[in-house]
Amino acid sequence: ESYKVLVTRKLPGPWIDSLKEIAEVEVWDGSESPPRTWIMSRIKDKDGVLVTLSERIDKEIIDVSSKLKVISTYSVGFDHIDVHYAKSKGIKVTYTPEVLTDATADLIFGLIITVARRIVEGDNLIRSGKWNVPWNPEFMLGKEVSHSVLGIIGMGRIGRAVLKRAKGFDMNVIYYSRRPHDVEAKFVDLDTLLANSDFVVITVDLNSETYHFIDYAKISKMKRTAFIINASRGAVIKQDDLVRALSEGKIAGAALDVFEQEPLPQTNPLTKFPNVVLTPHLGSATRETREKMAMIAVTNLVKCLKGESPLYEVK
């Protein structure tokens, strides 16, 4: 039996080649997301589709397909897929959590340290020829990460991996999530978290409850010396409100890996703040993790095609 599969991106590692041994595979070979019309015209007779977070898989696309059994996404986030509608049509949605947890938590810690210790500012200073005073006791002082208070919003896999790293820095960790978890950190309400944290880290996924969850009113409850860090989804923060809060000095800075619009245009006001660190959605971007994600995404897809349980299904 041969399955027909659509893959919207070339992926690192050998996994797409191995998929070709059991299925007829059509792969988009551009380096950017395929046009929507490319997906629409090809998904019709496919049994499975492997997508990334850049392709929006909504009702319209799902309705074009007539045989689809599985939508396998190469990501931990699944806000780009109408999961509810897919399920109502008997289509399984699978994803790649766990393998990217450590890479993402590493990046989050990198962002915390980078924004707190002004690493990018210092680098820019040297490159632009402006490091012209010798060592000085009050030069470019930042905020100490060790022993500070870390507030984690969301305590899923990534939240727990951030917590584990924070222990190594002797941080005092508090967290807020829908329910308490069995972790070594203090569960607090959101206002308490905002008012007490030196670093507020967002690790929730994007859904109708978390859309624009962090707005001007909430940012204003943070300490003026505190930083906000986001590597989940841009739209969890109301970006215009963050810009306003930064302009008014309501917080000390931000480090962001995700944005409401990606790619973030250079003209965006966020790029004007020296106390804001920006990275282009790199949470899972290590060679090791991206290859593991390909293995999981392909395995999920194949298992669903064969009628077996996938490794990770979005429930």
Number of residues that bind ligand GLV (CB under 6 A): 15
25 within 8 A of 19, measured Cβ to Cβ: yes
Given the rule CB under 6 A, which of 150-158, 165-173, 220-228, 306-314 is the region that contacts ligand GLV?
150-158
Residues 171, 311: Cα–Cα separation, whole Å: 34
Q: Min. distance of Cβ 279 from ligand GLV in angstroms?
A: 12
Of the pair 23, 228, the CB lying nearest ligand GLV is at 228
Tell me which DSSP letter residue 183 carries.
Answer: S
Reduced to 3 states, what is the DSSP secondary structure of residue 48? strand
Residue 283 interacting with ligand GLV (CB under 6 A): yes
Q: Which of 117, 74, 122, 82 has the alpha carbon at shortest distance from 99?
A: 74
Given the rule CB under 6 A, which of 13-21, 97-105, 107-115, 267-275 is the region that contacts ligand GLV?
97-105
Of the pair 75, 148, the CB lying nearest ligand GLV is at 75
Among 143, 157, 212, 223, the residue binding ligand GLV under the rule CB under 6 A is 157
Q: Of residues 9, 118, 160, 281, which has the active-site annotation?
A: 281
Q: Which of 73, 2, 24, 57 has the alpha carbon at shortest distance from 310?
A: 73
Q: Of residues 60, 144, 248, 262, which has the active-site annotation?
A: 262
Given the rule CB under 6 A, which of 74-82, 138-146, 177-185, 261-269 is the region that contacts ligand GLV?
74-82
Given the rule CB under 6 A, which of 62-70, 134-142, 152-160, 260-268 is the region that contacts ligand GLV?
152-160
Q: Catalytic residue at 233?
A: yes
Q: Catalytic residue at 121?
A: no
Q: What angle do CA 245, 251, 255 make, to 5 degrees?
A: 95
The 3-state secondary structure of 119-152, one letter per residue: HHHHHHHHHCCCCCCCCCCCCCCCCCCCCCEEEE
Residue 97 interacting with ligand GLV (CB under 6 A): yes
Torsion over CA of 170, 201, 297 and 28, rounded to 10 degrees? -130
Residue 253 interacting with ligand GLV (CB under 6 A): no
221 within 8 A of 251, measured Cβ to Cβ: no
Which residues contact ligand GLV (rule: CB under 6 A)? 53, 75-77, 97, 100-101, 156-159, 203, 205, 283-284
Active site residues: 233, 262, 281
